[in-house]
Amino acid sequence: MVLAATGDRLPQVVYWGAPLPLDEDLETLHRGHELDVTGGMLDENPDLSLCPEAVRTFPGQPGLILRDGDGTPLLPKFCYASDEQSEEGLSLTYADEANGLILIFEFATDPSTRIITAKTRLEANRAVHLHWLAAPVLPAPQQSDEMIDFAGRWTGEFQTNRTAWSAGMRYRENRTGRTGHEHFPGLLIPLTGCTNTKGEAYGFHYGWSGGHKMIAEELPDGRRQIQFGHAARMETQAAKSFESATLYVTYSHKGLNGCAVSFQRHLRDRIVTWPQPDRPRPVHYNCWEAVYFDHKLDVLKDIADRAADLGAERFVLDDGWFGQRDDDTRSLSDWEVDPRKYPEGLHPLIDHVHGLGMTFGIWFEPEMINEDSDIFRTRPDWVFGAEDQTLGRQQKALNMGLPEVRDFIYDRMAAILAAHPIDYVKWDHNRVLPMPDADQTRGSYALIDRLRADFPHVEIESCASGGGRIDFGIMKRTQRVWLSDSNDALERLRIQHDAALFLPIAVTGSHVGPRRCHTSGRIFDISFRAWVAAQRHMGFEMDPRELDERETAVLREVTSWWKHNRSWMLGADILRLDSADPAVMAEQQMTREGDKFVVFAGKAATSDQIAPRPLRLTALQPDARYRITLMNRGTAPALSRGMPALKDGPVEVSGAWLMHHGLTLPWNYPDTMWVVEGQRL
Ligand code: GLA
């Protein structure tokens, strides 16, 4: 990334992307970047700077919009003040003396994950109102036809949106107050011809949990700019200092996978803090879809016995253990154990779970309150938003900007965590907020940070009706996401495939759900359900009492395969494959060294052609030889009558053949998964 400035003006990124020779002359790059001037243009092209300024006739969206304390619009114009450079980063300070403002840009590079982080800070000599502050603004390539951003919904997270570039802007803004299912704050810009495995791409992610705004704009002269920041006007108070969240950016010449691997590694190795980094990720059991609110000690013990027998190593007690929580209309915020359901407290259940060799986790929804709760009756003023607001799942949010609210929730949660041997919290956030407010997000962060400081051994799962709060800001404070409330294996296959553009295996929860899926009504075979869960951080969520003998045997076998492989898989990269058959969704999970991999080829529909098309692998050494084993070849259906080599046993072939010809897999039904292991010889 090359930054250059003319005189004392704000710098612009004049180049970013493929590495240039270290002796490249930067003056020449600056001049070489300058555009010609012709009819209908200004006499000099305004800079597309790190914060484009309206006052310098920038013809697009400015990077900063603010008003003085009394409401007068300010038109800032910044000039160089100072800079600081270190091995890892750069900090640039610019001042607008007339308006009493200072703008600071911070960059850091991580040569190992190939991520650049960038942040903007604004300081004023009196309180001002902020409307919009972009993280450092970057140019986007003009050799690209489209951009990929993300939409989604409950049980349908991480839907990719491809939008053609055209004059003007694409403006995404999330005003729900949480990261949300609908607006994952990420953007990929593939250059023309880029696929998962080939070509160039640029990636962006804004690490903030309160809702973001994104601008992807093409100017009349053809230049393109990308801006990311908090949703507009979510700073509700005048203040003397503001900052953007961190913007994570990367460039890849290895297709979209290059961006995906950078984000996956950066999240896993640089952002998430693991209480016990050496502890293998335990197989989860979560009781939600087995019992819902109907907690009975003997039933839960029975379920725990069966979960442990299947291979579970952590038991998570979901919603329903506190207050008078018999359904979702009441008791949120009354975080005390329900004596009707647990007359002797939680200890008998926890002791039982521990006796089975599992650890114990518990569900909270800390930011929320039901009107039918003891706390609401005494402190209705603690609610966030209007009294007559529309409820979401019968609940309101607490005002997390108030220190007394945070103290109250902290005390309740800390009392439970201190009194019980609990090492895991599933932290839910089941409704959107009545309006975006940065104090609400900062309040949530402060509460989590305080709990983590005092209970450092407790891991946290970020859930918000499934994947409604997933971003690198929340992941600084948590270790796992509940990617979706959909345990429908076919839907999950797609959701986790697209989420892998940003999320590594280690943080992505995936559970084997009930035989008949509770959110889609569909029935899938246990083998498909189990392998889909085994692609990520594996767990179970069905009532194990429903499993017949065959289902139990398959689930045990896949779970033990997962445990056997997790030591390397949880640190592996997920490489999405370019499948020639749109019915096949395939990925290759490979160690960083490339000596070991597993390919999951999910058949998500019936193919148009009769026989499976060869599946090309990626990122192998062309000259190396690999031993390829179709792990579950024994499950081929009778309709697969031929004998492709892989059906017969392992084959040994070159990386070149695997990447250019590809695997010839046996025929299979839809809603099945082939699992192929690879070992470099
Ligand atoms: C949300 C979560 C579920 C479950 C319920 C409990 O919907 O996504 O997994 O925890 O809340 O009420």
Tell me the DSSP string of 395-407: EEEB-TTSHHHHH
Residue 68: active-site member:
no
Q: Which secondary-structure segment (H or E) carries 557? A: helix 549-569
Does the CB atom of residue 322 touch ligand 1 within 6 A? Answer: no
Q: Is the CB of 430 under 6 A from ligand 1?
A: yes
Could you report the per-residue pLDDT of 246-296, keeping only the tens digit for each?
999 999 999 999 999 999 999 999 999 999 999 999 999 999 999 999 999
Q: Is the CB of 363 under 6 A from ligand 1?
A: yes
| Residue-wise burial string across 205-221, b where 16 or more C-beta atoms lie within 10 A, e elsewhere | bbbbbbbbbbbbbbbeb
Residue 218 has pLDDT above 90, yes or no: yes
Is the four-CA dihedral 481, 486, 487, 492 of positive or negative sign? negative
Phi, psi of 24 (to 5 degrees): -55, 140
What is the Å distance from ligand 1's center to 465 Cα? 5
Evaluate: CB of 47 within 6 angstroms of ligand 1. Answer: no
Which residue, by CA, sits nearest to atom 1 of ligand 1?
Answer: 465
Read off the pLDDT of each residue in 29-40 and give the average, rounded to a whole number. 96
Q: For the chain, how big is the Rg over CA atoms in Å?
A: 26
Residue 216 main-chain phi, psi, to 5 deg? -120, 105
pLDDT tens figures, 314-330:
999 999 999 999 999 99
Tens of pLDDT, residue by residue over 603-628, are 999 999 999 999 999 999 999 999 99
Give the tens place of pLDDT for each residue, 184-215: 999 999 999 999 999 999 999 999 999 999 99
CB of 268 closer than 8 Å to CB of 519: no
Catalytic residue among 47, 110, 423, 428: 428
pLDDT in the model for residue 297: 98
Other CB atoms within a 10 A radius of the CB of residue 12 amount to: 25
What value does the mean pLDDT take over residues 422-440?
98
CB 465 less than 6 A from any atom of ligand 1: yes
513, 541 in Cβ contact below 8 A? yes
- From 329, 428, 510, the mutation candidate for ligand 1 (largest count of ligand atoms within 8 A of CB) is 428
Asked if residues 32 and 8 have their Cβ atoms less than 8 Å apart, the reply is: no
Q: Known catalytic residue: 428?
A: yes
Cα 74 to Cα 121: distance, rounded to the nearest angstrom = 17
Tokens of 518: 């509770």
CA–CA distance, 222 with 79 (Å, rounded to integer): 26
Per-residue pLDDT band for 505 (boundaries 50, 70, 90) equals: very high
CA 348, distance to chain mean position in Å, is 36
Average confidence score pLDDT of the chain: 98
> Is residue 88 over pLDDT 90?
no
63 Cβ inside 6 Å of ligand 1: no
- Answer whether residue 411 shows pLDDT above 90: yes
Q: Whose CA is nearest to atom 3 of ligand 1?
A: 465
- CA of 271 from ligand 1 middle (Å) equals 25
Percent of the chain with pLDDT over 70: 100
The token pair that represents 556 in the structure block: 């045990």
Ligand 1 site, residue 176, Cβ cutoff 6 A = no
Q: Whose CA is nearest to atom 8 of ligand 1?
A: 465
Ligand 1 site, residue 485, Cβ cutoff 6 A: yes
Pick the catalytic residue: 110, 318, 437, 485?
Answer: 485
Full-prediction pTM beyond 0.75? Answer: yes
Distance 491 CA to ligand 1 centre (A): 18
At residue 606, the pLDDT reads: 97
Q: Can you tell me the distance from the alpha carbon of 439 to that of 443, in angstroms, rounded to the nearest whole number?
A: 6
Structural domains for the chain: 2-271 (2.70.98.60), 284-571 (3.20.20.70), 577-680 (2.60.40.1180)
Contact 133/230 with Cβ under 8 angstroms? yes
Closest of 277, 264, 333, 287 to residue 475, by C-alpha: 264
pLDDT, tens digit (0-9, with 9 covering 90-100), for 447-477: 999 999 999 999 999 999 999 999 999 999 9
CA dihedral of residues 454, 458, 464, 468 (deg, nearest 10): 90
Residue 544 confidence (pLDDT) = 98
- Average pLDDT of span 2-27: 97
Q: Which amino acid is at 46?
A: P
Give the distance (Å) from ligand 1 centre to CA of residue 428.
7
